Amino acid sequence: MMSSHSHASGKRVKGCIRALSGLAIAAGLMGISAPSQVAAQSLFDGCPSGAILDRFVEFGRSGKMPPDLGKWLNDAEAQKVEPWKPFDNVEYVGVCWVSAWLVQTDDGYVLIDTLYGPFIGQLIENLKSSGVDFADIKYVLMTHGHFDHVGGAAALKPLLPNATFVMTQEGWDEAVESAKASQGTPRAWEMIEPEMVVKDGDTIELGGNTFTVIETPGHTWGTASYLYDVQDGGDSYRAITIGGLGLNAIDGPTQVSAYIESVDRVRALVESKDENVEVHLTTHGFSNNLDENRQKLLARKSGEPNIFVDPQALLNQIATLRAGAVERLEIEKNK
């Protein structure tokens, strides 16, 4: 199934604010303007992608966390999202600003990312309300070492007796180092000891589905994306969860160049007739109108296509990310 892969990382994951700021920078490169000041309660009610993205743009431009955004990012109740299914075998079990995906197979479940801090309880409740037997979760695939994607692993580990936690070696190194650096701070978090280590091209076979590891360094050096099959009625599509979208924790032009290469590789997977990737189940919903598309899916009529099967939208998002990275590369080169 998989072979171990070990090489030193030496790359430091920056703090929580840097992680958020990176998303803001990525958003700013999309050319979205900041909105007028509105109360957080009304601004973010219903998980609107545009309003959330705009606030991150404001954060990126000013370098200061907008008070309403900061309050909302730590408000578990305001972030609550009921589980919902974009595909027959996939359920969204995350919160508004950060994703967690549950993929069902004939031999158990695969969870993608773990949330963190105030939202771990919400993830656990979402899994319970989905009717999942925690003993049936066989793998937890983690995209990279940032706290918002792996910070829940320590709480989940004792609850999932048959689950193996999975990440690249550099991803594990980043997460362990970041958790260690957080100790003694108001945002301290714990990380589990490394378990399964995967590398590019490794596959996990479970219950008729194949989860393929695609190393996509750039967001962090240890970032991985995952390919897997999703079902809609009698149709099957290849989906990707891209492990990292923002240009944060950048240590120089080499890392930005790696990001561009990763983006180009994802584009090739979408354009390839072999992989034929047509679906993007994102790590951050506001990056590609996740909730708005959820609402459109709810209004879907018999015979209409699934709105999440949209390779052109994925290609458009990739083009935007690449253009922003090219601009960032010039900035890094001129430092």
How many distinct structural domains can be found in the chain? 1
| CATH number of the structural domain spanning residue 34 | 3.60.15.10
**Residue 274: predicted pLDDT:** 85
332's tokens: 């890094």
- Residue 294 within any structural domain of the chain: yes
Is 7 part of a structural domain of the chain? no
On whether residue 5 sits in a domain, the answer given is no
Q: Label residue 276 left, alpha or beta by phi (over 0 means left) and psi (-120 to 50 means alpha).
A: left
Residue 5 pLDDT > 70? no
Structure tokens given for 119: 């939202």
- Which tokens sit at 305? 């296509």
User: Of all residues in the chain, what percent carry a pLDDT higher than 90?
Assistant: 77
pLDDT for the residue 81: 95
User: Confidence class of residue 7 from pLDDT cuts 50, 70 and 90?
Assistant: very low
The answer on pLDDT for 255 being more than 70 is: yes
Tell me what the mean pLDDT of segment 16-44 comes to.
Answer: 42
Mean pLDDT of the chain: 88
Banded model confidence at residue 151, pLDDT cuts 50, 70, 90? very high
- State the average pLDDT over residues 236-265: 94
Rounded Cα distance between 207 and 148, Å, is 28
- Taking residue 210's Cβ as centre, other Cβ atoms within 10 Å add up to 13
Can you read off the two tokens belonging to residue 156?
């989940």
Task: Report CA 282 to chain centroid distance, whole Å.
Answer: 5
8 A C-beta contact, residue 264 and residue 322: yes
β-strand 224-232 against 209-215: which pairing, if any? antiparallel
**Residue 204 domain-assigned?**
yes
Q: Let me know if residue 192 belongs to a domain.
A: yes
Check the CA dihedral 144-147-148-150 and report its sign.
Answer: positive
288 lies in some domain: yes
pTM for this one?
A: 0.88
Domain that holds residue 115: 16-333
| Residue 109 forms part of a structural domain | yes
Tell me which residue of 100, 44, 122, 156 sits closest to 283, measured CA to CA. 100
Q: What confidence tier does 205 reach under pLDDT thresholds 50, 70, 90?
A: very high
Choose between 15 and 292: higher pLDDT.
Answer: 292
In a domain, 151, yes or no: yes
CA 114 to chain centre: 10
Q: pLDDT tens, 87-139?
A: 999 999 999 999 999 999 999 999 999 999 999 999 999 999 999 999 999 99
* Average of per-residue pLDDT across 312-319: 97
Give the Cβ contact number of residue 251 at 10 Å: 14
